[in-house]
Structure 1
Amino acid sequence: MSTSYYGFSGNEDLGGGLSAQFKLEGFFRGDTGEQGRFTGDAQFARTTSVGLSHKNLGTVSLGRTTTQLFVSTLLFNAFGDSFGYSPSIRHYFSSGAGSVTGDTGWNDSVAYSSPNLGGFRFGTTIATKESTTGTGNGGNWSVGMSYSGSGPFAASLVHQNVKKDAAGATPDTTTSQLGASYDFGVAKAFLQYGQIKNTTLSTSTKITGAGVRVPVGAGAVVAQYSAMNPSASADRKTLSLGYLHTLSRRTELYAVAMSDKLDGLSSGGGYSLGMRHRF
């Protein structure tokens, strides 16, 4: 359901509302004990940063930071950050040439996030240029705004531009995404719409998603659908349905199934039964 990771973090009060912070977070594969999401992944590939935070001015972080696009994508779909079963995460970040380039975290970045301003938050991230060829390639940037007040409505708008590849091996992409959710009490609905433009290949992809989370007893039924419409390849439609059963504040059981259809090919899919523990 989720990529396993561990982390260390710290916070020191410097007085006057200012504090120093750090994070070291790494993925691991529990079946083999290996570091990273895949062979060759960095030890602390999730977040590796230091920063300063002020209660009235916001937070500045330096290092490897999670992108605003990834955070927006996981917040506004019913399956959250599940790379295995969230159709939204799969389409934006792991569906080949039509997906976003530049990973879910950026190295050598400076990120700013504002304090809560009446439910509104603003953030921006810049990743420094890197060039070994003298061509000046590289340099990512993104901006985002979100609203999450005391009521049932929440929304976000994010735009990012990826060019951070000195060797030119990774295509340049620009991505815009609008996400929204509304909690009706008996159910919480999620909507997403985004467009990815691959400026290197001169292609574009539209991604539309909708989902729902319905509380049932000690758990919830979750469903998410996403349609991926690339300009230069086959359309893709993915539907996931599952039940999450809460055992405690940190532990839940899950049962989930997915149908994945690429036009021109027979349908694929998968299912899982398991337990997720957060500590």
Structure 2
Amino acid sequence: MNQTNKRFAKRSILAGALLGLTALGAHAQSNVQVYGLIDMSVGSTKNPGGQSITGVDSGKMTTSYFGFSGTEDLGGGLSAQFRHESFMRADVGEAGRFGGDPFFARTSSVSLAHKDYGTLSFGRNTTQLFVSTLMFNAFGDSFGYSPSIRHYFAGGQGAVTGDTGWNDAISYASPSLGGLRFGASSAMKEGSNGGNWSAGLSYAGGPLAVTAVHQTVKKDGATPVQDTETTQFGASWDFGVLKAFLQYGEVKNETTNNKTDITGLGARVPLGAGAFVAQYGTMDPRVGAERKTLSLGYLHNLSRRTELYGVVMSDKVDGLSSGGGYSLGIRHRF
């Protein structure tokens, strides 16, 4: 091999090594994750005034879902992120919470995040009110058994409008500033629909956590649109042997000119490999029947990702036959 060829070979090897290092660096700065949760149970449910239905259900404690997300490190504390998440009905093998639900109804967004300045997201995002509601009650985000979730988001007339996630949204979430966080969201006005907006402030430090959220909805996907304003306050205190939850909120439906007070009181008691949970809530409209819901359950951890649960519920609306239900189920995270 002559000197020219030797120099060319050395340069080729060096270039290949640099390309390999660049690829490894890019891989180290980016990542994509696949994750989700499957919740399956057997039990019985009876809505107030309705008929009892017994069978296998998906999502009684947490709506089953799957998703994938990614992050790219842009340097200087800045990163680009995306998140796409789809609800699913694992009992029938179909996507969505119900027929016709958008495929990525849980979340579909792209974000810019900075460690010092917070995160700005664009797309379909979970509302601050929904996050506040699930964090400050003992049953979390359970549409099947959390009195708070059922009253705010599935309570019929008097409940919040606009779903648990907003389309065409711009959302900001601040970093933690000594335990204090701020967030704001806006769903842009389209055509004859109005726009939505919300703002929330929370604090978590030691055993105490508190929150305050306000949202206005003028775009809810229904015809005709029902405009609502909701204000909610929440608090929790961890005593060690017991974590107590308190919520109060008011939903004002400007379309029907009705106001509804929603209160909640709950507790989570660590017990063995799991916890006993209890939540009581009332829904008291100015016009209409009062609703009272009580749920009790035990959650048993088989591992960090797999949990068994048993739950019973009493659900009463004035003037209707009593409702309620029970479930024995499993939640698995992946």
Q: TM-score range by the shorter chain?
A: over 0.9
Match of residue 145 from structure 1: 201
1:159 and 2:214 aligned: yes
1:231 CA drift (Å)? 1.2
Matched, 1:247 2:315: no
Counterpart of 2:34? Answer: none
1:154-195 C-alpha deviation (Å, 9 max, x unpaired) = 010000000015885120000000000000000000000000
After TM superposition, the structure 1 = structure 2 runs for residues 16-165 of structure 1, keeping only pairs within 5 Å, are 16-131=76-191, 135=192, 137-149=193-205, 151-164=206-219
C-alpha distance 233-167 of structure 1, shift in aligned 2 (>3 A): closer
The 8 Å contact of residues 180 and 191 in structure 1, kept in 2 or not, is answered as yes
Return the offset for 1:265: 1.6
**2:262 is paired with a residue of what secondary structure?**
strand
* Residue in 1 that maps onto 2:318: 263
Verify the 8 A CA contact 1:138 1:165 in the aligned structure 2.
no
The answer to whether the 8 Å contact 2:161/2:220 transfers is: no
Q: Secondary structure at the match of 1:96?
A: coil
SS at the partner of 1:7?
strand
Question: Is the CA contact (8 Å cut-off) linking 2:306 and 2:333 kept in structure 1?
Answer: yes
The reply on whether 1:227 has 2:282 as its aligned counterpart is yes
Supply the AA of the counterpart residue of 2:301. T
| Superposed CA offset, 1:127-156 (max 9, x none) | 00011xxx5x3100000000012x100010
1:212-266 deviation line (CA, Å, top 9, x unaligned): 0000111100000000001111000000000000111111100000000001122
The 5 A counterparts of 1:176-255 are 176-255=231-310
Q: Are the counterparts in 1 of residues 107 and 165 from structure 2 also a CA contact under 8 Å?
A: yes
User: What TM-score do the two structures reach when normalised by structure 2?
Assistant: 0.81
Q: Which amino acid aligns with 2:244?
A: A
In structure 2, stretches of 5+ residues that fail to align are: 1-60
- The 3-state SS of whatever aligns with 1:71 is helix
Q: Corresponding residue for 2:64? A: 4
3-state SS, counterpart of residue 326 of structure 2: strand
Kept in 2: contact 1:9–1:23 (CA 8 A) = yes
The residue type equivalent to 1:241 in the other structure is: L
Q: How many residue pairs end up in the alignment? A: 274
RMSD, matched Cα? 1.0
**SS across alignment from 1:9:** strand
2:198 is aligned with what amino acid? Answer: S
The secondary structure found in structure 2 opposite 1:266 is coil
In 1, the alpha carbon distance for the partners of 2:286 and 2:320 equals: 18
**How far apart, in 1, do the equivalents of 2:225 and 2:278 lie?**
33
Greater than 6 Å deviation, 4+ residue runs: none
1:120 is matched by which residue type in structure 2? L
Q: Matches of 1:184 and 1:166 in 2, distance apart? A: 42
Distance 2:321 2:114 in 1: 53
Question: Taking CA–CA contacts closer than 8 Å with sequence separation of 6 or more, which of the two structures ends up with the larger relative contact order?
Answer: 2
Q: Secondary structure at the match of 1:115?
A: coil
More helix by share: 2
The answer to whether the 8 Å contact 2:291/2:317 transfers is yes
- For residues 278 and 225 of structure 1, what CA distance do their matches in structure 2 show? 27
Whichever residue aligns with residue 306 of structure 2, its letter is T
> Residue 69 of structure 1 aligns to a residue in which SS?
helix
Structure 1 gap ranges (5+): none
What SS class does the counterpart of residue 229 from structure 1 fall into?
strand
Which amino acid in the other structure matches residue 103 of structure 1? D
Q: Which moved more, 1:260-269 or 1:60-69?
A: 260-269
Deviation of the 1:31 alpha carbon: 1.0
